[in-house]
Structure 1
Amino acid sequence: MIAWLMFIALGVIWGSSFLLIKIGVRELDALSLVAARLGIAAVGFVILFVLNRTQLPRDRRTLLTILVVGVLNTALPFVLITWGEQYIDSGLASVLNATTPLFSLVIAHLALHDDKITTGKLLGLVTGFFGVVVLATRSLGSGGGESQNAFLGELAVLLAAFCYGLSAVLIRRYVRNTEPMMVAGGTLIVGGVLMSLLVLFTVHPLPDVSKLSSDVLWGVLILGVLNTFIAYLMYFRLLKQWGASRATMVTYLTPPIGIFLGIVVGSEAFDPRLILGAGLIVGGVALANLSRINQGMTRLIQRQR
C-alpha cells in the first residue's frame, strides 16, 4: 500500500514540475532557474552522502560516466526544458518529455547488442511519432514569429527527451553495477556544480532574489527540494521494492497530470490536439514496452497474493 501511494505521489510530483518551471521562467532566466534547482538538490545529496558515509566510486570509467551523465541527464535537459517552456505551455512540455522511452529504444538498438527493436517496439515508435506530428501542427499551423518560437520550444523539449534516453543507455551500459543512489546523487551534484559555475560566468547581472515574487521563490524551492531531491529518493526506494519494469511505469502518469495542472492551475488553453497527441505518445510508449508492463504487473500480483 505504501509503495502504491509513493508511486502515485511521484507521478503527481514529477507531473507538477512542468508547471513550476513555467512559473519560474516568468522572472528568472533558464540558466539561473536550473542552477538554483540543481544546487538545492545537490546540497541535499552531499549532506545525505556525508551522513551515510557513502563510499565514492574510484574507477575512472564510472567517474567519467557519472560526469557525462551529469551533463546529459540533468544540466542539459533541465536547461532545454526550462528554455523551451518560455515559449510553450507546461502541459505540452510534459507530453513531449514523455517521448524519452521512445528515444531510448532507438539508441539502445544502435548501441546495445541485447536490446533490439522488435515488431511491437516498432509499432510503438511509429505511434509515438504520429503523436509528435499531431502536437507539432499546433505551432506550425498558425505561422508568424510566435509560432516559430513555439516550434523551437517544442524542439528543445524533444532534444531534452533525447538526452534522457541517451543517458539511460549510458547508465545501463557503463554503471549498471554501481549503486543507483550514487548514480542519481552523483549526477545531480555534477549538474549542480556545472550550472552554478555557468551562471556565475555568463549571467550578468545575477538575479536579485529580493525582487523575486513569492510565487517564483516557492516554485524554485519546491522544484529543488521536493521535485528533484525528495523525488529521486522516492524513486530509488520504489526501484528497490518494485524493480525497474514496474517503477518506470510512473512515466505514464506525468503527461495527464501535467496537462491537468497546466489547464486548471496555469490557465493554459485546452486543445483537443494536445489530448490526441498525448494519447498517441503514451500509447506508443505502452506498445513499445508491452512485454515489460505485463511482466511487471504479473510479478506485482504474485507478490500481493
Structure 2
Amino acid sequence: MIRIYSAFVLLGIFWGSNFIYMKWASALITSGQISLLRVFFGFAPLAALACWKGVFRFGQIRYLHHFAMMAAFATAFSYFAMAHGTALLPSGIAGVLGASPALFTAIASGVFLRQERVNRMMGAGVLLGIVGIVLIARPWASAGSDGAISALGVGWMLAGSMAFGLSYVYVRRYLSAIRLPPLAIVTWQMGLALVMLACLTDLHGMGRIVQDWKAATGLVFGLGLLGTGGAFLLYYYLLDQLGAVAAASAVYVTPVVALLIGWWVGERVGLLELIACVMIFGSIALLELGRQAGARQQAEPVARSTVSFD
C-alpha cells in the first residue's frame, strides 16, 4: 500500500506543479511552443510503454477520427489554453482554475448523456464551484488595482478546463463501448496532438528556452516527462490498483500544491484565494459523491428486477 499511496501523492504533486513550470517558460517562449514541447516530452514515455506492452493493433486505425477529436480539443487546445492562461495569471490561481474540468464534465454529462442526470448534490457542487471561480476571478476589482486578476487569463483557463472536461463525455459516448486499452487511446491522442501542434506552431525563437536552465529543466522534466507522461503512467497505475474514482481523486491535491508553490515563489496567497480553493475542492467532492449516489440509484432497480421468487 505504501507504493500505491506514494503514487497517489506523486500524481497530485505532478499535476499541481505543472503551472509553475508553464509560468517560468512563458517568460521566454510562446504558449504554442510550451504546448508543443510539453506534448513531445510527454509523448515519449507513453509511446515507449505502449510499444513495450503491445497495446497497438492495426484495427485501431478505424477509430482515428475519434483519436483526432481528442487530440485536437482535450490535448492541443486544452494545453495551449492553459499555458496561455497561466502566462497571464499567478501560477497558484491558474492551478486552482485548472482543477475545474469536473464542473464542465458534470454539466455536459447531464446535457448529453441520458444515463447520467445531474442530481441535487451534483447541482450544489456545480454552484459551489462557480462561486469559487468568481472569487478567484474577482470581477469587482478594477483593472490595474492590486487585487485585479486578468479576466483574459481566467477565460483561457476556463476554456482549457472546459475542453478537457468535455473530453470525458466524448470518451464515454464514443470510445467506452470500443473497449480499447486506455494506454493505447492516450498514446494515439498525444501522438496526433504532437503532429497538430508541430504543424500549427511558429518555431521561431523556441531556442530561447535554453537561456534559462530553470525554465528549460522545468519544461522538459517537470512539465513534459513528469507532469504529462509520468502523470499519465501514474494515473493508469492507480486506475488499475484503486479504480477510477480513487485515481481521479488526485485532482483534489492539484490546487493545494499549486497554491503552496505559488506562495513559496512569492505570489500573493490571501484569504480569498484559500476560500475559493476550498470551494472548488468541495465542489469536486460533491460532484463525485453525487455521481456515486446517482449510480447507486440506477443500480438498485436493476438489482431488484433480477431477484427471483421461484
TM-score of the pair, normalised by structure 2: 0.87
SS at match of 1:175: helix
1:10 aligns to 2:29 (yes or no)? no
Cα distance between partner residues in 2 of 1:246 and 1:96? 21
Of residues 184, 189, 192 in structure 2, which corresponds to 1:190? 192
1:125 matched residue in structure 2 = 126
Q: Deviations over 1:213-235 (max 9, x none)?
A: 11111011111111111111110
Q: Is the 8 A contact 1:12 1:253 kept in 2?
A: yes
Following superposition, the deviation at residue 244 of structure 1 comes to: 0.6
Whole-Å Cα distance in 1 between the matches of residues 69 and 218 of structure 2?
Answer: 28
Closer/same/farther in 2, CA of residues 57 and 164 from structure 1, 3 Å limit: farther
Q: Kindly tell me: are residues 49 and 226 of structure 1, through their superposed partners in 2, closer, same or farther at Cα, counting changes over 3 Å?
A: same
Q: 1:210 to 1:272 in 2, by over 3 A?
A: closer
State the one-letter code of the partner of 2:158.
L
- The answer to whether the 8 Å contact 2:22/2:87 transfers is no
**Deviation larger for 38-47 or 162-171:** 38-47
CA RMSD of aligned residues (A): 2.3
The separation in 2 between residues aligned to 1:216 and 1:113, in whole angstroms, is: 45
Query: 1:170 matched to which residue of 2?
Result: 170
CA distance in 2, matches of 1:57, 1:253: 38
Work out whether residues 41 and 228 of structure 1, in 8 Å CA contact, stay in contact via their aligned partners in 2.
yes
Structure 1, unmatched stretches of 5+, are 296-305
| Counterpart for residue 281 of structure 1 | 280
1:39-86 deviation line (CA, Å, top 9, x unaligned): 112233333333333323625663211110111111111101111112
Bigger Rg over Cα:
2
- Say whether residues 1:67 and 2:74 are aligned partners: no
Whichever residue aligns with residue 161 of structure 1, its letter is S
Distance in 1 between residues matched to 2:219 and 2:48, nearest whole Å: 20
Residues 159, 61 of structure 1: alpha-carbon distance in 2 compared, 3 angstrom cutoff: farther
CA distance in 2, matches of 1:269, 1:147: 10
Classify 1:36/1:272 alpha carbon distance in 2 versus 1 (closer, same or farther; 3 Å).
Answer: same
Offset of residue 206 of structure 1: 3.6
Q: Which amino acid aligns with 2:42?
A: A
Residues 239-294 of structure 1: per-residue CA shift (max 9 Å, x gap) = 01111111111111100111001111x21112221111111111112112215579
3-state DSSP of counterpart to 1:289? helix
Match of 2:183 among 177, 181, 184: 181
Shift of 1:238: 0.6
Structure 2 counterpart of 1:196, one-letter code: A
The answer on whether the counterparts of 1:140 and 1:147 sit within 8 Å (CA) in structure 2 is no
Provide the residue aligned with 2:98 in structure 1: 97
Q: Is residue 246 of structure 1 aligned with residue 257 of structure 2?
A: no
Matching residue's letter, 1:25: S
Structure 1 CA distance for aligned equivalents of residues 41 and 9 of structure 2: 24
- How many Å apart are 1:208 and its aligned residue? 2.3
Q: How far apart are 1:146 and its partner, in Å?
A: 9.9
Identity in percent = 24
Q: Please state how far the C-alpha of 1:142 moved relative to its aligned partner.
A: 2.6
1:180 is matched by which residue type in structure 2? P
Call closer, same or farther: CA 1:31–1:17 in 2, change over 3 Å.
same
Distance of 1:57 and 1:250 partners within structure 2? 34
What residue is the counterpart of 1:213 in the other structure? 212
The verdict on how the C-alpha distance between 1:125 and 1:3 changes in structure 2, with shifts beyond 3 A counting, is same
Task: Provide the C-alpha distance between the structure 1 equivalents of 2:231 and 2:107, rounded to a whole number of angstroms.
Answer: 27
TM-score with structure 1 length normalisation? 0.89
What letter corresponds to residue 13 of structure 1 in structure 2?
F
Pairwise mapping of residues 71-90 of structure 1 onto structure 2 (< 5 A)?
A: 71-90=72-91
* Equivalent residues of 1:34, 1:82 under 8 A apart: yes
The Cα shift of 1:196 comes to 1.6
Provide Cα deviations, 1:164-198, integer angstroms capped at 9, x if missing partner.
Answer: 11101111111112211111111111111211221
Change (3 A) 1:183 1:245: same
